[in-house]
Structure 1
Amino acid sequence: MSPLAFYKCLADDTRLKALLLLVSHSELCVCDFTDALQLSQPKISRHLADLRKCDLVLGERRGKWVYYQLHPALPDWARQVLTLTHDNNPDYLTEAQSNLAAASCATC
């Protein structure tokens, strides 16, 4: 993965927050993202599809839902960028983390 492709994939608030949520949660369902980010399921799915195309996430279908994790083949440098961004910007995800904790996704 080239640095240019990596940073282009991160150049959207929804995609970046989704990736950072996966840094702190090893796996999340589409419904978790909709609760956390307060966006519609089609919008979340579109952004996750973009992240799949970039090979940043890997999705696994279980029933009607798809569960996502950071791609296991993500280069170490890219994983470190995401981890450092997550660890050094706690305020960036405060609302999303609160939404996720409050939701406890009953639909999954």
Structure 2
Amino acid sequence: MFSILFLCTGNSARSQLAEALFRKVAGDRFEVFSAGTYPQDVDPRVYQVLDLLSVSPQNLSSKTLQELPQQSFDFVITLCDQASRECAAYPESQALMHWDMVDPKPLDGVEPFLESARFLEQKIRLFLQLNSLDRLSPLESPTDLFKILSDGTRLRILMMIEDEKELCVSELVGALNESQPKISRHLAQMRDVGILEVRRQGQMMFYHLAHGLPDWCQLVLETVRIGNPAFINNEKIRLKALSVRASENEPELT
């Protein structure tokens, strides 16, 4: 089971909302904690908002770091700038993150707390979506992906495969209008770092995105493709022409 700590200065509003919401969204996959560098009483509006959202406030209390049952966590997320600075050397964690958000406490009414809860729920769902914690990533680090994307030919190959799901070497050679050795070299590089996988069919080698590719990586590729709809227009046209010629050369069935 993974552990996560939400850290704020007062542990009286943002981190309490985050603890309760994360526990609801993540279920039993995580041990969830919150703490404060200078704890204060939990703001009553926290309980009002949780009640409105049908989220359990069970076990919520304001506490110091030293009061926690453990001092090492898989993830530590700070929710205010002061806590982010103060925990620079604390605590022991595999991953330290900061989610910048407005403190609702100085504001009037319940609505600022509702806005904080909506913001946190959105961030929590994105965190869980993009961290595939039940499988190992084929990439050693995000640097591997961005090195691949920095080359125009490799980027076009990935965009074509993202669109078509699977392409063979000859299709990529024709669509990109590049030499076979160049295409094969780029495919080998992407296969070596775990971005692509290959399926053999007779003498043909078909390439597709790796099945274990993490969600954040797939989201990057999808965002690049959708955000640049005309990027591979010419390549798509040439690929279509290849398929038309292939079908014209097939023997007619009688």
Counterpart secondary structure, 2:205: strand
Q: CA deviation at 1:63?
A: 1.9
Counterpart secondary structure, 1:90: coil
AA matched with 1:30? V
Q: CA deviation at 1:15?
A: 0.7
- Once superposed, which parts of structure 1, at least 4 consecutive aligned residues long, lie more than 4 Å away? none
Aligned residue runs from structure 1 range 41-60, under 5 A? 41-60=180-199
Q: CA deviation at 1:60?
A: 1.5
Counterpart secondary structure, 1:59: strand
Could you list the runs of 5+ residues in structure 1 that have no partner in the other structure?
none
Structure 2 residue aligned with 1:23, among 162, 165, 174?
Answer: 162
CA contact (8 A) 1:10 1:16 kept: yes
> TM-score normalized by structure 2?
0.40
Quick one: percent identity of the two aligned structures? 40
Aligned residue runs from structure 1 range 19-98, under 5 A? 19-98=158-237
Q: CA deviation at 1:26?
A: 1.2
Structure 2 residue aligned with 1:10, among 149, 153, 160?
Answer: 149
Q: Distance in 2 between matches of 1:48 and 1:86?
A: 19
Counterpart secondary structure, 1:67: strand
In the alignment of these two chains, the number of paired residues is: 106
Higher relative contact order by CA 8 Å / sep ≥ 6: 1 or 2? 1
1:66-87 alpha-carbon deviations (Å, 9 max, x no partner): 1010001111000000001011
1:17-62 alpha-carbon deviations (Å, 9 max, x no partner): 1111111111111111011100111111111001101111001222
Cα RMSD for the two superposed structures: 1.2
